[in-house]
Amino acid sequence: MTPGLLGGFSLVAALLFSVIGLGLCFFAYFQRDGRYLEAAKRTSGLALLAALAAFGALEWALLTDDFSVQYVALHHSSTSPLWVKLVTPWAALEGSILLWATLQTLYTWIVSWRVHTRGLPGGKNGLDPYRAPIALGVLFTVQVFFFAVMVFLAHPFNAVIPPPTEGPGPNPLLQNHWMMAVHPVLMYLGFVGFSVPFAYAVAAMITRRYQSWVHETRWWTMIAWGFLTAGKMAGAWWSYEVLGWGGYWAWDPVENASFLPWLLATAFLHTSMVQERRGLLRSWNFSLVILTFVATFFMTFLTRSGVIQSVHAFGEGPVGPVFLAFLLSVAFVSFYLLSRVSSEVKDVGEVRLLSREGALLGGAILFTVLTFVVLVGTVWPLVVEALNGAKVSVGAPFFNQMAAPFGVFMLLLMGIGPVLPWRQSKPQVIRNLLILLAVLLIGTLASLIWGWTLGVSLAVGLFLYNLAAVGLMVDQGVRERARSLGISAARALADLAVTNKRRFGSHIVHVGVALGCLAIAFSQAYRVEAQKTLYIGETWKKVGLEVRLLDLRQVQEPNRIATIAVVDVRGTSRQGLWAEGQYRPRLNVYPVMNQPLPSPSVKYTLGNDYYFILQQFGQDERGLWATVRVIVTPLVLWLWVAGMIMVLGTLYILWPSGLRAPAKAPGGATA
Amino acid sequence: MKRLWPFALLVVLGALLFWGLRRGDPSALPSVLVGKPAPDFTLPAFAPYRAEWGERIQLSRYLGQKPILVNLWASWCVPCRDEAPMLEAAWRQYKNRLLILGVNVQDTNPGAALGFIQEFGLTFPSGIDENGRVWIDYGGYGVPETFLIGKDGKVLYRHAGPLDPATLQELLGKVL
Amino acid sequence: MSYVAPPRSSKTSWRTTYAVRRIAALLLLLACSFPPLAFAQPAANTPPPDFSPQVFEIARELRCPVCQGESVAESNSGISLEMRRIIAEQLAQGKNKEQIKAYFVSRYGPWILYEPPRAGLTLWVWLAPLVGVALIGAGLYFYLQSARRRALEAGAAEVSEEELRRAEAELDQS
């Protein structure tokens, strides 16, 4: 048995099991027989096992340096460190599809366990034998697509004859930081997760049960959203640490494309509450879930087709047209299903502007408009080229200008929304709104007087405003509970934190978002960056720092040659004292890439981040020189903290007791 | 009709993306120089050419006499290795009717570039563009790139990427 | 002390797909046949001038021609290093941001600008948020109006979520 053989067999087996599972779902649906569904559940387990075997086979091939497997021969090197070998499966096209497909089988399998084969009256999983086969069938269809792509188009286990003795190793960018082990997996867990709400939505449209699916898939949407948020944060951090330009978000086409499902899912998380609570916005929610799922495929399509130039692209593969065809068919079929029932999902009811649902809908509109803008900006160069053959670029300066006002409106709504009651505004709410408005104004004005730019001042004001909003709501909830039950405030707070996880968790996530926006505003506005060539022993005074080049060393590592500048930094201002210490920025040269990759040396502090990059080096008559670029950016650390808060908030909502809580208290989002 | 617009949008988006898949190299960047006077450059010549062409090669000295084929190359560039013998053969054949000028772009070191010249026995002159300024002046976005400059000193055509014999013949056919 | 110089040359962007595998193979061959020597010290590796923050501000608005996915401020390809140097030199000559951007546009066309011109076909991309708000806003407005009308017609008998779910559960039973 060789890894290639095991992998090839497992892939075919996984494809077969997926096809069988799909067939069983068909039978279960048309025969209305739970036994077929029972069998389909088992099949999903077998498909998972087969996928895991295929994935394991790829790891096996990589760990044993089996260069007879083409994927290994093209993207692996026996000199790579162990962790690089372990993450190589998602360093290139074929392996990444395998990872995606494996995660899809995992999700399908978990879903199959939450599916009940008997109709349960209002059961906690609420799925009947008539809807469950459709949901499972949709997931099996997605699985069939991925495994068919691998078996017929992008086979990870193609053989190379004769096998080479050594390979080039994965893309050096991916070897530069351990975060690469985490970021893609988290992203994929998020993307794949959106297939579950989509599957339930399709089932809902076919069986004409328009309400319960929102509730059933809320948990899944949260999970996928949480993974995607974590994945994007990990990606931002990776780009900050690796790409060597001191930024965390570049508005690259693939970044944009992966932003689309996140934005749409965020919109859905908010408007689904309106449906849960009031039964409104049903076709809107269907559309959002469909678009979220389609957007994940749009993302993979862009990454894997080479249609648009991007640093993330795997290059033009043979899979582009197939992904496009699948994505379009999914969209066509789902919108057809929706249009078929559109007369039945018409809403009956009123949404007032100044109400919870009004604010939630407003937020959702913001998110969808931003989705639209990002999509248009991303594909516009293609449109222009198609129309008149000219080449244009739409990049960061454009998107930053678009995102800033969006951020302001979002933060405004985020503060107001949870304060407003459902249906219509009550008089006592006005007091709260006035308090919030005062906080916003005072915060912004004080920051302006302090000397910050208008954008930053607004961000500060909005941050305080959001903190105040959360504070007000927690305070009110606690007081009411303490009064009505006659318990202490601390006890009431603890009670609320346990019983109303959704509400509390959303506060946590919102605080994270506000903090993140603050960090982004500061780091964008007050970033200082300069560059100087230093000879050994030379000192450079800049941005409150005294930078001295102590030494320049060269190290031969198994997979690269590294040149390391040893830089000593002293602070000349009070703030600069934080930066003191030794920095060792490196320039790594990988044999496969004739362009050196800088590996920056960063010191995180609560205020500024100090970021040193070795840009160039050489030797002339005056001796060894190194060109050092220093970037001082405020509050970047808080962006990572904000990301963690957002993920922790999501986890808090999802924490097991939260699983049952919504079933007991459907209106969990009320204060 | 109201329900049809999502489908119409999908068709448009699908058509656009499909066109994007079929349009060939997405990184291709048409030259803005075509039809405009060729930017001048003065570059130090590689040692083997100094006797015949002087210490420095200046483009404007040769403009207006013969058509000129400017080829940007580097020793680290793999497709350049396929191109070099073809250019050399063309040079030997059309020497008196056409000037071929090589521009060595951002090479790792002059030694590597000299090795490349010797390996392929290149007799057409090449200058050293250490920093890549000429490359940038010509709007280069890769190596190799080939510019055809007419007798009037204007850029007639830019070919980005490796030449194949047919393309080279076609290019030469425009001016010979 | 012998120093291995940074290979300054840019990644051969050229049809990366077609080239990368061959390049990989070839470079490997190179690296094996003449170890570090293949990357010996380039004579022309001269130290760049000092860059003020403005250099990077301008570079961030220009697209790297070779890597195409990164701005000139981000990219570490040889061409970006040189373009940053050109920006620094021109700033030292007293040129302003617009003049420097025009210098690159005259060589690469408007493609090099990450901020598309507010004219012609790219004007529409600037109008995208307005179009988006108008489309989504108007659509939702009319939709909600009709939902409200239906609610009034139905006599304010709005169905609560619990009722709906109970009804669906009953349907499933039957």
More confident residue, C47 or B38: B38
How far is A96 from chain B, CA to nearest CA, in Å? Answer: 21
- Cβ–Cβ < 8 Å for A188, A100: yes
More confident residue, A108 or A571: A108
More confident residue, A560 or A442: A442
Distances (CA, A) of A554 to A538, A587, A599, A629, B45: 19, 9, 14, 19, 33
What is the per-residue pLDDT for C69? Answer: 81
What is the per-residue pLDDT for A320? Answer: 87
Mean pLDDT (chain B, rounded) = 91
Phi/psi of residue A98, nearest 5 degrees: -60, -45
Predicted confidence (pLDDT) at residue C169 exceeds the cutoff of 70:
no
Residues of chain C in contact with residue B111, where contact means CB-CB under 8 angstroms, are: 40
User: Two tokens at A347?
Assistant: 């809403």
- Cβ–Cβ < 8 Å for A501, A451: no
d(CA B28, CA B81): 21
What is the per-residue pLDDT for C86? Answer: 95
More confident residue, A318 or C97: C97
Q: Which residues of C touch B (CB under 8 A)?
A: 5, 7-10, 12-16, 19, 22-23, 26, 38-44, 65-66, 68, 78-79, 82-83, 85-86, 106-109, 111
- Cβ–Cβ < 8 Å for C122, C131: no
Following DSSP, what letter does each residue of C69-97 receive, concatenated? SSBTTT--SHHHHHHHHHHHHHHHTT--H
Under the banding of pLDDT at 50, 70 and 90, the label for residue A216 is confident
Predicted confidence (pLDDT) at residue A137 exceeds the cutoff of 50:
yes
What is the per-residue pLDDT for A558? Answer: 81
Under the banding of pLDDT at 50, 70 and 90, the label for residue C33 is very low
Predicted confidence (pLDDT) at residue A45 exceeds the cutoff of 50:
yes
Distances (CA, A) of A17 to A39, A51, A130, A312, A338: 11, 10, 21, 32, 29
User: Two tokens at B167?
Assistant: 């393309």
- Cβ–Cβ < 8 Å for A224, A289: no
User: Two tokens at A36?
Assistant: 């077929």
The closest CB to that of A382, out of B3, B10, B20, belongs to B20
Predicted confidence (pLDDT) at residue C32 exceeds the cutoff of 70:
no
Predicted confidence (pLDDT) at residue A282 exceeds the cutoff of 80:
yes
User: Lowest-confidence range among A4-8, A279-283, B22-26?
Assistant: B22-26
What is the per-residue pLDDT for C27? Answer: 35
More confident residue, A108 or C28: A108
d(CA A534, CA A628): 7
What is the per-residue pLDDT for A239? Answer: 87
What is the per-residue pLDDT for A280? Answer: 87
How far is A641 from chain B, CA to nearest CA, in Å? Answer: 38
**pLDDT, average across residues A223-239:** 94
Would you call A331 and B10 a contact, using CB atoms and an 8 Å cutoff?
yes
User: Two tokens at A164?
Assistant: 């080479």
More confident residue, A608 or A306: A608
The pTM of the full predicted model, rounded to 2 decimals, is 0.90
Structure letter (DSSP) for residue B154: B
- Per-residue pLDDT of B40-91, as tens digits, reads 999 999 999 999 999 999 999 999 889 999 999 998 888 899 999 999 999 9
**pLDDT, average across residues A525-553:** 91
User: Two tokens at A642?
Assistant: 């904000």
What is the per-residue pLDDT for C152? Answer: 85
Whole-number percent of chain B with pLDDT over 90: 70
What is the per-residue pLDDT for A456? Answer: 96
Predicted confidence (pLDDT) at residue A95 exceeds the cutoff of 50:
yes
Helix (H) or strand (E) holding A479: helix A454-485
**pLDDT, average across residues A258-287:** 92
- Cβ–Cβ < 8 Å for A387, A379: no
User: Two tokens at A565?
Assistant: 């500048």
Would you call A324 and B16 a contact, using CB atoms and an 8 Å cutoff?
no
Tell the residue number behind the tokens 């490196």, with chain if given: A586
Under the banding of pLDDT at 50, 70 and 90, the label for residue C161 is low
Residues of chain A in contact with residue B19, where contact means CB-CB under 8 angstroms, are: 382, 386
Following DSSP, what letter does each residue of B75-101 receive, concatenated? TT-HHHHHHHHHHHHHHHHHTTT-EEE
User: Two tokens at C130?
Assistant: 């307005």
What is the per-residue pLDDT for A180? Answer: 80
- Per-residue pLDDT of A288-299, as tens digits, reads 999 999 999 999
**pLDDT, average across residues A110-138:** 70
Question: Hey, what amino acid is at A648?
Answer: L
Q: Where does residue A454 rank: exposed (0-12), middle (13-18), buried (19+ CB within 10 A)? A: exposed
Mean pLDDT (chain C, rounded) = 73
Under the banding of pLDDT at 50, 70 and 90, the label for residue C6 is very low
Under the banding of pLDDT at 50, 70 and 90, the label for residue C17 is very low
Give the up-direction half-sphere exposure of residue B124: CA atoms within 13 A in the CB hemisphere: 26
Would you call A592 and C172 a contact, using CB atoms and an 8 Å cutoff?
no
What is the per-residue pLDDT for A498? Answer: 86
Whole-number percent of chain A with pLDDT over 70: 94
d(CA C159, CA C157): 6
Q: Is the dihedral of CA B71, B52, C45, B85 positive or negative?
A: positive
Which residue is closest to C52 within chain A, CA to CA? A530
d(CA A180, CA A159): 27
User: Two tokens at C73?
Assistant: 């401020």
Tell the residue number behind the tokens 């892939």, with chain if given: A11
More confident residue, A433 or B2: A433
What is the per-residue pLDDT for B130? Answer: 87
**C-alpha of C73 from chain center:** 12
What is the per-residue pLDDT for C170? Answer: 58
What is the per-residue pLDDT for A31? Answer: 82
**pLDDT, average across residues A120-129:** 49
Question: Hey, what amino acid is at A628?
Answer: V
Q: What contacts B173, CB < 8 A, 6 or more positions away?
A: none
How many C-beta neighbours within 10 Å does residue A377 have? 22
d(CA C134, CA B1): 20
The closest CB to that of B26, out of A307, A321, A335, belongs to A307
**C-alpha of A423 from chain center:** 33
- Hey, is A99 helix, strand or coil? helix
What is the per-residue pLDDT for A398? Answer: 96
**pLDDT, average across residues A213-230:** 92
CA angle A88, A93, A96 (to 5 degrees): 60
Following DSSP, what letter does each residue of chain C receive, concatenated? ---PPPP-SPP--TTHHHHHHHHHHHHHHHHHHSTGGGGPPPTT-PPPPPB-HHHHHHHTTBB-TTTSSSBTTT--SHHHHHHHHHHHHHHHTT--HHHHHHHHHHHH-GGGBSS--SSGGGHHHHHHHHHHHHHHHHHHHHHHHHHHHHHHHTTS-PPPHHHHHHHHHHHHH-
- Per-residue pLDDT of A383-406, as tens digits, reads 999 998 889 999 999 999 999 999
Structure letter (DSSP) for residue A131: T
- Per-residue pLDDT of A624-645, as tens digits, reads 999 999 999 999 999 999 999 9
Would you call C69 and A373 a contact, using CB atoms and an 8 Å cutoff?
no
How many C-beta neighbours within 10 Å does residue A387 have? 10
Mean pLDDT (chain A, rounded) = 89
The closest CB to that of A594, out of B18, B21, B76, belongs to B76
What is the per-residue pLDDT for A127? Answer: 53
- Per-residue pLDDT of B101-129, as tens digits, reads 999 998 877 788 999 999 999 999 999 99
What is the per-residue pLDDT for C172? Answer: 57
Predicted confidence (pLDDT) at residue A579 exceeds the cutoff of 70:
yes
Following DSSP, what letter does each residue of B120-152 receive, concatenated? HT--S-EEEESS-HHHHHTT--SS-EEEEE-TT
User: Lowest-confidence range among A84-93, A177-186, A304-313?
Assistant: A304-313
Would you call C9 and B76 a contact, using CB atoms and an 8 Å cutoff?
yes
Predicted confidence (pLDDT) at residue A509 exceeds the cutoff of 90:
yes
